[in-house]
Structure 1
C-alpha cells in the first residue's frame, strides 16, 4: 500500500471512495491500465473486516470463492471456511499485492459536478478535481434500530450487530437477539453455544442447507451457474437487491442453522419484535409463518439441486425435503422484560445506505443509486461493491473482481476519449 501525499485542490483522473475489497479491486485494474488514481478511505483499508466482526466470525462461503483480482485463495482447504484471523491474513496479502495509492483517514464529505466538467470531491483534508469517480464504500452504512429502543429501560445494554464481539463481553443475563438474517442467526448461535439464555425475534430471512447430497450447496449452485446469473436475468430482477441473505454457517467446518433445533435445546423463539410498552416486549404472531417460509426456501433450493442432478445424470447420495423437528405450541405475543432476565438486546435488523454526501441526481426514493452494472446516468460516476450490482457475488470476494474489471474498461475508454478531446 502506497500512502499518497495530499495536495488540496489537486487533480486526479479517478478518485475511488472506499478502501475495502471493492476499492482495492478497482485500484488493481486501474493500475494494470496505467490510469492515475487515488483511493480515499476514512478509516483504514479493509477496516470493516477487522473492527465489525465478532471473535468467532467465519466466512459462510467456501474458501475457493475467495477470488480477489490476482489473488485467489492459495491455502490447503478450499472447501473450508476462513476464520476471522485467516480472513484478515488473506486481506493483508491482497493489500500488499495491490499496493494501491491510498490516503487513509480521509473522509469524503461531498461529491458534486464541476461546471467545467468532471467532479469536485471535497474531503476532510482538502478537495480533489476528478475526471471520474468510483463510489466503493459499500451499501451498509447506518444500522437500523426501531424507535421503540428509545423507551427501553436504561439498564438494558443495547448493542449493534457490528459491535458484538463475544458472549463473555456482555453483561450476565439473558440476551435478546432481534433479527434472524446472517448476522442475527450466527450471533444467536454463538451465544447459544456459549451457554447463554437466548431469546430470538425471528424475521423473514430465508435459509439454505450447508451440505446436500454429498456436497456443499455452494458447489452445486456454482455448477448450476447461479453465481453467473446477472441481475436482469433473475426472476426478481432488481428486487433481488432487497432480499435478506440466507442464514447458514461455516462454523466448525460448516453446518445448517436450524432455529427449530435451537428451540429444542432451549432457545426461545418469538415472531418479529413490534413494540415495547408497560414493561412488556410485543411480538407479531408470525413465528410459524417465518419458520415455514425459511424452510420452504431451504427445500426449494434443494429441489433445484435434485432437478439438476437428474438432468445431468449425476450419481449422488439420496436427498429429500427437510422435516421440521419442532413446532411452536402457540404464538407468543408478549414478554415481560424484567421477568425474562434479559440484560442485553442485540440489534441485527440490517443497515440503510447513506449516500447523502453524493450530491448528484442518481438515487431512487429509497436512497439507492440507479445504475446498470455500476454505471450511473452521470457520465464518469460509478458504483462498485454493492449487493447484486451485477451478480450474486458483486459485493463479495467471489464476484467483485469481475465488476471492477468491467468498470475499469469503461473508465479507460472515457479517459482515452477525454485525452483525444483535450
Structure 2
C-alpha cells in the first residue's frame, strides 16, 4: 500500500530534474521531483572551489532565464550555477521535495506503474524519470595500494591546493577536470605530473567566436553517436575567462607530461609509450575544427578576423621527446595522487529489467525498454549536447512529449461496440 500517489515521479533535482519539472508543468502533467540533498547539490559539494562552467553564460543555461549577475560571455562560478537552478525552480514553481532519498524502485505488483520506496515512505507512480545524471559514483582505480605518506583522492573530492600535504602531485586524467586541477596546482607552486590519455582538444575561442558557438553553427552539438563510439574526454577550460588547453604549453610552464598510466609495482608507476602519439591526435582534432571553421567563414562570407597564430603548434618539450616510462613515487617526491578518471552510474536501487549486459540503461533517446521508465542527462542520450545544461533541457522536452502521448492513449476508454444482428 503506497503512502501517496503521483502520476510522474522525477528522481534528482540537478539540471535534468529541473528541466523535466519545467516541461511537465507546462504540459499540465502532475509530477513530483525528489532530491536526496539540495537542488544542484553536486555543483556545490562535489566540485573544486575555483571551478567555473566550461561554457559561456549565454550558452550554458536554460532558454527562459539568463544568469542574473554575469554578462553573456562570462564563465559562471559553480556556486552561482547552483543558485541559478534554485532560482529556476522557484520561477517555474516546481513541485519539489528535498531531503528525500529514493532507496528502491520496483514494478507495482497491484497495478500499473511503479512503487518507489523512499526515506519518507512509499510512492506509487505511473511513470518515473531518472534524472540522477551520469556523474554518480567516482571511478577510482585500485592500482596503488594505500600507504603512509601518499594521499589518493578522486577529483570530486579535491577542493584546493591547501588541502594537499606538501610535495609533488600526480594528476591522472586529462579531461576538463584533470587539466584544470593540474594547472591550478602548478600555478600554486606545486611540482605537477599529468598523465595524459586520449582526448579531444578544441579551441576555447577562434576568430572571435567561442568553441560552443562553433559546435553550434557546424551542427556538431546535434551529432548522434554511432553505437560503436567510445567516450573520448574533452580538454577545455573556462578558467581565467576561458582558455584553450594546450598540453605542450602546460609542459613549458613546468608540468611534466606522462603517458597513459598502466601499472604499479614496488612503489613505481609505469606509463604507456604513447604520449607523443596521443598529443598529436589531440592536435589533429584541434586543427580539424579550425579548418572547418575557416571553411564555414569563407562559405558564408563572414567578417571574422583571421587568426593564423592559432594554428601554430609549439615544439615538443623534453618530457615528450624523452618520455618518462617509469616513475618512482617516493623519489619524485609525490605525496598526493588525484584520480581525474571519471564516474560510473549506480542504478542498483532501480530494480527493473531495463539495463544492458554492461549495466547501462537500455533506452532510445531516454525512453527505456521498460514501459513508463525514462532517463535524462545521460551522455549522448540523443546527441552530443545531451549531458550539457542546455542539451538536457531539450531532451526533457522530448521525454515529456512521450509521456504526454502515452497519457493520451491511456485516457482512451474505447468505443461502444455495435449490437450484433440476431
Query: Tell me, which stretches of 5 or more residues in structure 1 are unaligned?
Result: 1-6
Decide whether the 8 Å contact of 2:267 with 2:330 is kept in 1.
yes
Q: CA deviation at 1:179?
A: 0.6
Does residue 162 of the first structure (1) align with residue 136 of the second (2)? no
Equivalent runs, 1:17-416 vs 2, <5 Å: 17-68=11-62, 70-74=64-68, 77-115=71-109, 116-149=111-144, 151-227=145-221, 229-231=222-224, 236-240=225-229, 242-320=230-308, 321-327=311-317, 328-416=320-408
Structure 2 residue matching 1:132: 3-state secondary structure:
strand
Decide whether the 8 Å contact of 2:116 with 2:124 is kept in 1.
yes
Distance 1:78 1:12 in 2: 38
Identify which range, 26-35 or 11-20, moves more after superposition: 26-35
Distance 1:82 1:110 in 2: 35
Decide whether the 8 Å contact of 2:70 with 2:76 is kept in 1.
no
Distance 1:66 1:310 in 2: 28
Distance 1:42 1:139 in 2: 16
In structure 2, relative to structure 1, the CA distance for the partners of 1:265 and 1:76 (3 Å cut) is closer
What whole-Å deviation, never above 9, does each CA across 1:308-367 have from its counterpart, x for those lacking one? 112212233324434133241222111111111111110101111111222222212221
In structure 2, relative to structure 1, the CA distance for the partners of 1:17 and 1:239 (3 Å cut) is farther
Distance 2:149 2:259 in 1: 24
Q: CA deviation at 1:112?
A: 1.9
In structure 2, relative to structure 1, the CA distance for the partners of 1:122 and 1:205 (3 Å cut) is same
Larger Rg: 2
Q: CA deviation at 1:239?
A: 4.2
Distance 2:84 2:127 in 1: 30
Q: CA deviation at 1:114?
A: 2.1
In structure 2, relative to structure 1, the CA distance for the partners of 1:148 and 1:221 (3 Å cut) is closer
In structure 2, relative to structure 1, the CA distance for the partners of 1:72 and 1:403 (3 Å cut) is farther
What whole-Å deviation, never above 9, does each CA across 1:49-70 have from its counterpart, x for those lacking one? 0111111101111111133253
Distance 2:211 2:123 in 1: 46
Decide whether the 8 Å contact of 2:113 with 2:372 is kept in 1.
yes
What whole-Å deviation, never above 9, does each CA across 1:35-87 have from its counterpart, x for those lacking one? 22111112222100011111110111111113325323455521221122332
Identify which range, 85-94 or 121-130, moves more after superposition: 85-94
Distance 2:305 2:359 in 1: 46
Aligned twin of 1:3: none
The alignment yields a C-alpha RMSD, in angstroms, of 1.9
Decide whether the 8 Å contact of 2:174 with 2:233 is kept in 1.
no
Distance 2:239 2:85 in 1: 20
Q: TM-score, normalised by structure 2?
A: 0.92
Distance 2:306 2:187 in 1: 30
Regions of 4+ moved over 6 Å: none
Structure 2 residue matching 1:64: 3-state secondary structure:
coil
What whole-Å deviation, never above 9, does each CA across 1:229-281 have from its counterpart, x for those lacking one? 252xxxx42444x4233211111111112111111121111111122211212
Distance 1:13 1:289 in 2: 53
Q: CA deviation at 1:214?
A: 2.5
Q: TM-score, normalised by structure 1?
A: 0.92
Distance 1:359 1:376 in 2: 14
Query: Tell me, which stretches of 5 or more residues in structure 2 are unaligned?
Result: 415-422
